[in-house]
Chain A
Amino acid sequence: MMSLEQFKSRYVGSQNYKLIEIEEYPTTPWGKFKRVVKRTFKTELFVGLKIVFMEMVRFNIHTIQYPKEKLPIGARYRAIHKLLRLLESGNERCIGCGLCEKICIAKCIRIDTKIDENGRKVPTEYTINFGRCIFCGYCAEVCPELAIVHGPDYENASDQRAHFALKEDMLTPIDKLKEQKEYPGFGAPTPEADRLIKKTPLAY
């Protein structure tokens, strides 16, 4: 079984994969005929039925009982967006640079920004029109602050086509700051980031 760590890693070449050998397909009519005869008299059907029956008797059933049970979602899965806060201060991470708005190919993101009393640029409102969003993940990838990310909540059936999300719907509530998890998907620093970074020389 694959561990989650392995699953998350994007360095495909370095992993150990088990390769499966596949028999050559017959190409001649005679070869094909032989395969049919072989499959018919080997009673492969009953082999399968036997396995199903054995597992049923043993109650070793792998079907997930959705919605009571749910599979873990991969880190790179792109579901409904979240806006994150800084863990130390609780401030919003979004600086209102507008890159997500610009890169969005469905044109479903809009930001209003202003200057706040500390002279900083802040987003006063942030909306995503989920009726138009195609969950491409560009916004999360372009975000320089890891402020907008894709969460794992994929259950977004709604009775309205234009299911807008406002900032307060996506932003981590301040009292749940401790539960906020770092996002490992698209746009997050790669595991190699520390090694690749270059240090700026300092004069002091």
Chain B
Amino acid sequence: MIKFYIDGREVTAKKGETILQVARREGIYIPTMCYLPKVKPIESCRLCVVEVEGVEGFVLSCQTPPTPDIKVKTNSAELFTHRQNIMKLYDVNHPLECGVCDKSGECDLQNKTLEFMVNSQEFTAKDQNRKIKDWNYIQYDPSLCILCEKCVHVCNEVIGDDAIEIEYGGYKSQIIPKDAPTLECTFCGECIAVCPVGALISKDFQYSANAWELRRVPAACAHCSAACHLYYEIKHASIDNPEPKIYRVKNEYEFANLCGAGRFGFDFENKAVKDENAFNNALKAFKKADTIKFNSIITNEEALILQKLKEKFGFKLINNEAKAYQKFLKKYSEFSGRTLYSADLEDIKNSDFIIIFGTMVATDNPAVRYAMTVSNRKRNSEIINFHPMEDELLKNVVTKFVRYEVGTEEGVMAMLANALLSKEDKENIDKEWFEDLDIGYLSAESNVGEEEIEDVLKRLTRKRRVRAKRSTLILGEDLYTHPRAENIARLAGLIDRFTDFDVMIIPPRTNTLGVSLICDLDEEEGEFVIGYNTEGDFVLSALGDGDLDMPALNQQEGTFTNIDKRVVPTNVALPYEGYVLNDIARALGVSDKEYTIEFTKELPKEKGFKAIDFDELPNYFTNAGQEERGYILESNKVAISRERVEEIEELPEFNGIVVYRCEPVLQFNPFTAKTHQLNFSSELVGSKQFSIAAKLKDGDEVVIKTSFGEIKRVFRIDTSLKGTIGLLETFDMGLSYFDILSDYRYQVIKIEKASGQ
């Protein structure tokens, strides 16, 4: 702790904190143009200068850590003139189009120009002919750009796309796509978010509304389990139509991230009115039914209502995807001694060594990818990716890729556990089991060479030698649906308990973790099934194609349990006129609550939830960047099971045409597919090699025979892919999408060309 003074006030800095960080934390204002807390100081604006007593000249507060007892002055006549001069330079030839600029009203340049009272242009430079660039979802106007470099840094240091760079050329400098004629990236839109002026904007939003007209609703993104913090920005649809409409999504870009699906896929609402007939039919169906089938894209409160329905009427609750996760987590906790997994996204950001196993993480859960990028850039961490397919999107981040054969996850996990656990630990755990382990066989079948595991270990020892603090093992969706999932979970539990690795078990859907904690799930379906956002004999659907409409997650308030084991609140962005699940529960005598959120404080305490009212849940970031959203679940102690780790089964072989169920960038599920900016259809994607093996040409229409029936797809060759496994996209399958999630993600398929070709 370093004690020093800012403007006469005594403040303390933690180790590594800069003057600016301390000032921000303490609420002391220092103007900046290029400072972005989540990346390294950019130092391009030089507006954050301060005076330090006894030091000649100005000091850049964004990159200077304080020394004890210095006296910092954030404001003086000289500083004001200095900053004013900088603003004068920024304003040279800046187009006077505030009247139409999307950024007007929330523009850093506008604010600081007014703050430093620049009202005329005294300098001059010959203006350049700069063309506006059209980059798919993004528009770039170089004449508005002030070259603060925030976008370049966030793209490289946080997202990991590394898709843009600065073309240096003095006054002609501008942002250009890196090594490409046009921008090809994951379109997360973070560059739009961080742009302090109107240079990078969302094309869809452009000129449709002004910043000050929009009402901000703080919410949580409903698309994946990261449940990132976001704001839905709302205004009436038009003069003729007073109904509110979401115009765009913004986020707390200084501290948090948001992927493209969250940013551009926001209008998945379900418009409905109270249909009494349908409601009565629903009640009849509930009387008749013995099973409720649902998916994990619901709130914790809804999950609790379903659980209460089960308790009163004995419904079977079917959610195979959450069931698989629940079983995995349970076995894991029996071997690790804790109810929940140990790592969160912040831990990943602070890790020096990361092993990621069984997930196409860049598309499955972009937040994990961003956290890994941060750790790689900030701490130069080793990131080892174990997967049958090399992910092109991770090439900037992953330091070693280990390919294993499809279906051999259990063997790979055994090899990992064998390598990571120390000799003494192995003897304590189960000496016999480890001795029986036939590493040669596993290595041969899984195609993971022993020398590769040794190399991983070598990298780990090298990291440990240099102050490495934290190691993380990230497990993904491929493992939970694996036939031998429980044994994999046992080994993961052991790694967590006996090594210094923290383990993250990525929840595969928005609220899978919440559902798996709240609901007692069954495996066998009954005779009459009520489907809540899944197929069934009577369907409640937020996609608008069921027997009774339900609100989508941007029309509901409630909480999600996210990947950080955090219960985060989300709010109503758009009104919903129809019936909600709580209305059904009330009619059936299960709920006495007027609003669904009254259940928030009744979430099960024994599972780690807290008795806090929904309205008491915080939902913001502090000045220092601390995430104050909801609360973190308590991870309780569990008695360690006396069960032995099972023998590794014979590793299966997948011969023939193998596809991997994997959604493309920007898509997660039918809800994202429904939104107007992300409205494209699923394809079958494969490498050149795959196309030869499957005898397909680019653009072929094919009928695919899968375990969940025949589906039609257009085949597309993706030259960035390698190997012989195809990617099968399923996000536009509507309600039936949620039925296939419990299958193992790889499968052998039969492909026929569609008739008529």
CB distance from A104 to the nearest CB of B (A): 12
Instruction: Answer yes or no: B594 CB below 8 A from chain A CBs.
Output: no
Question: With A and B bound together, what is the CA distance between A162 and B123 in angstroms?
Answer: 52
Chain B residues with CB under 8 Å of A112's CB are: 238-239
B262-280 interface mask toward A, CB cutoff 8 Å, 1 = contact, 0 = none? 0000000000000000000
Question: With A and B bound together, what is the CA distance between A114 and B132 in angstroms?
Answer: 18
* Contacts A125-B239, A127-B239 given; does A115 touch B206 at CB 8 Å: yes
Chain B residues with CB under 8 Å of A203's CB are: 124-127
Question: With A and B bound together, what is the CA distance between A125 and B240 in angstroms?
Answer: 10
Please give me the residue from chain A that is nearest to B242 by CB atom. A110
A129-148 interface mask toward B, CB cutoff 8 Å, 1 = contact, 0 = none? 00000000000000011000
Question: With A and B bound together, what is the CA distance between A119 and B124 in angstroms?
Answer: 27
Instruction: Answer yes or no: A185 CB below 8 A from chain B CBs.
Output: no
Q: Are A97 and B100 in contact (CB under 8 A)?
A: yes
Question: With A and B bound together, what is the CA distance between A203 and B207 in angstroms?
Answer: 32
Instruction: Answer yes or no: A35 CB below 8 A from chain B CBs.
Output: no
CB distance from B243 to the nearest CB of A (A): 14
Q: Are B213 and A101 in contact (CB under 8 A)?
A: yes
* Contacts A201-B123, A203-B125 given; does A110 touch B208 at CB 8 Å: no
Q: Which of B179-224 contact A (CB under 8 A)?
A: 206-210, 212-213
Instruction: Answer yes or no: A8 CB below 8 A from chain B CBs.
Output: no
Partner of B99, one of A97, A110, A202: A97
Chain A residues with CB under 8 Å of B100's CB are: 95-97, 120-121
Instruction: Answer yes or no: A43 CB below 8 A from chain B CBs.
Output: no
Question: With A and B bound together, what is the CA distance between A144 and B126 in angstroms?
Answer: 26
Chain B residues with CB under 8 Å of A144's CB are: 99
Question: With A and B bound together, what is the CA distance between A38 and B48 in angstroms?
Answer: 81
Partner of A125, one of B120, B210, B238: B238
CB distance from B152 to the nearest CB of A (A): 25
Instruction: Answer yes or no: B111 CB below 8 A from chain A CBs.
Output: no
Question: With A and B bound together, what is the CA distance between A122 and B100 in angstroms?
Answer: 9
Please give me the residue from chain B that is nearest to A98 by CB atom. B210
Q: Are B126 and A204 in contact (CB under 8 A)?
A: yes
Chain B residues with CB under 8 Å of A120's CB are: 100
B424-465 interface mask toward A, CB cutoff 8 Å, 1 = contact, 0 = none? 000000000000000000000000000000000000000000
Chain A residues with CB under 8 Å of B213's CB are: 98, 101-102
Chain A residues with CB under 8 Å of B207's CB are: 96, 113-115, 121-122
Instruction: Answer yes or no: A62 CB below 8 A from chain B CBs.
Output: no
Please give me the residue from chain A that is nearest to B123 by CB atom. A201
Question: With A and B bound together, what is the CA distance between A201 and B208 in angstroms?
Answer: 34
Question: With A and B bound together, what is the CA distance between A96 and B104 in angstroms?
Answer: 12
Q: Are A95 and B208 in contact (CB under 8 A)?
A: no
Question: With A and B bound together, what is the CA distance between A127 and B126 in angstroms?
Answer: 41
Question: With A and B bound together, what is the CA distance between A98 and B211 in angstroms?
Answer: 10
CB distance from B136 to the nearest CB of A (A): 16
* Contact-size category for A: 20 to 34
Please give me the residue from chain B that is nearest to A119 by CB atom. B132
Instruction: Answer yes or no: B121 CB below 8 A from chain A CBs.
Output: yes
Question: With A and B bound together, what is the CA distance between A115 and B213 in angstroms?
Answer: 17
Q: Are A110 and B239 in contact (CB under 8 A)?
A: yes
Question: With A and B bound together, what is the CA distance between A102 and B210 in angstroms?
Answer: 10
Please give me the residue from chain A that is nearest to B238 by CB atom. A112
Q: Which of A65-108 contact B (CB under 8 A)?
A: 95-99, 101-102
Question: With A and B bound together, what is the CA distance between A203 and B92 in angstroms?
Answer: 11
Question: With A and B bound together, what is the CA distance between A202 and B207 in angstroms?
Answer: 30
Instruction: Answer yes or no: A161 CB below 8 A from chain B CBs.
Output: no
Instruction: Answer yes or no: B122 CB below 8 A from chain A CBs.
Output: yes
Q: Are A201 and B122 in contact (CB under 8 A)?
A: yes
Question: With A and B bound together, what is the CA distance between A111 and B213 in angstroms?
Answer: 11
Instruction: Answer yes or no: A195 CB below 8 A from chain B CBs.
Output: no
Q: Are A113 and B208 in contact (CB under 8 A)?
A: yes
B397-411 interface mask toward A, CB cutoff 8 Å, 1 = contact, 0 = none? 000000000000000
Chain A residues with CB under 8 Å of B208's CB are: 113-115
Q: Which of B663-705 contact A (CB under 8 A)?
A: none
CB distance from A110 to the nearest CB of B (A): 5
Chain B residues with CB under 8 Å of A125's CB are: 238-240
Question: With A and B bound together, what is the CA distance between A111 and B210 in angstroms?
Answer: 10
B236-260 interface mask toward A, CB cutoff 8 Å, 1 = contact, 0 = none? 0011100000000000000000000
Q: Which of B118-154 contact A (CB under 8 A)?
A: 120-127, 132
Q: Which of B26-63 contact A (CB under 8 A)?
A: none
Q: Which of A142-171 contact B (CB under 8 A)?
A: 144-145
Question: With A and B bound together, what is the CA distance between A113 and B208 in angstroms?
Answer: 5
Q: Are B209 and A200 in contact (CB under 8 A)?
A: no
Please give me the residue from chain B that is nearest to A197 by CB atom. B120
Question: With A and B bound together, what is the CA distance between A101 and B240 in angstroms?
Answer: 16
A169-204 interface mask toward B, CB cutoff 8 Å, 1 = contact, 0 = none? 000000000000000000000000000001011111
CB distance from B159 to the nearest CB of A (A): 27
Chain A residues with CB under 8 Å of B124's CB are: 200-203
Chain B residues with CB under 8 Å of A127's CB are: 239
Chain A residues with CB under 8 Å of B206's CB are: 115
A selection of 22 A-B contacts at a CB cut-off of 8 Å is A96-B100, A96-B207, A97-B98, A97-B99, A102-B210, A102-B213, A110-B239, A112-B239, A113-B207, A113-B208, A114-B207, A115-B206, A115-B207, A121-B100, A122-B207, A125-B239, A127-B239, A198-B120, A200-B124, A202-B124, A203-B125, A204-B126
Interface residues of A (CB under 8 A from B): 95-99, 101-102, 110-115, 119-122, 125, 127, 144-145, 198, 200-204
Given A95-B99, A200-B124, A203-B127: 7 more A-B contacts, CB < 8 Å: A96-B100, A97-B210, A101-B213, A125-B238, A200-B121, A202-B124, A204-B126
Interface residues of B (CB under 8 A from A): 98-100, 104, 120-127, 132, 206-210, 212-213, 238-240
